[in-house]
Amino acid sequence: MDKRTFLRITVAGTTGALFVPRTLMAGMVEPALKTKLAGGVYHTDEAFGRWNKGVAEHHLPTFEKHGGRLQVTTHHPMNAYEHYIIKHELLNADFNFMNEHRYDPTQDKKPETVFDLGGHSGLVYVLTICNVHDMWVNAIDV
């Protein structure tokens, strides 16, 4: 199995794991950030798992809302295929896919994406996936 296929399978499986607990979390403000999966399947600012707090600072997605757009930034270097952000992904409050942006680590210098929210309002989850340090999740009410 080549590296790209392995990464695709890993990302698909990891992202899919977010869908499992959704019925158990009804009514919670930021459900995906507070489950037992935090710190294991995915990481957050408070549950950074096997990584230290310093890793969280460079992998947790941050965002700014500008009208109907959401600018997502991960303060992480893009070191070709050695260490880079694979993609940003946007999910709605029900963990349904909204959009994604994949990065080319040989071309993209900064992991930054502007998503058009298309009139969407409510909670969205922003995922950042690193080829070394796994998946990081943050949430914002738009």
Q: Which of 140, 48, 135, 39 is nearest to 98 (CA)?
A: 140
User: String of b and e for 9-19 (b: at least 16 CB within 10 Å)?
Assistant: eebeebbeebe
Close Cβ partners of 47 (under 8 Å, ≥ 6 residues apart): 33, 38, 39
110 CB contacts (<8 Å, ≥6 apart)?
A: 73, 78
Using a CB cutoff of 8 Å and minimum separation of 24, what contacts does 52-56 make?
55/133, 56/136
Q: What is the pLDDT at residue 140?
A: 92
Q: What is the DSSP letter of 107?
A: T
CA–CA distance, 32 with 138 (Å, rounded to integer): 9
Report the top-level CATH class of 3-141. mainly beta
pLDDT reported for residue 45: 87
Say which amino acid occupies 80: A
One-letter amino acid at 116 equals D
pLDDT (0 to 100) of residue 84: 96
Domain borders along the chain are: 3-141
Question: What's the pLDDT score for residue 23?
Answer: 35
Quick one: DSSP state of residue 22? G
Backbone angles phi, psi at 38, to 5 degrees: -65, 130
Per-residue pLDDT of the chain (142 residues; tens, 9 = 90+): 666 655 555 555 555 544 444 333 333 445 557 677 778 878 888 888 898 888 988 999 999 999 999 999 999 999 999 999 999 999 999 999 999 999 999 999 999 999 999 999 999 999 999 999 999 999 999 9
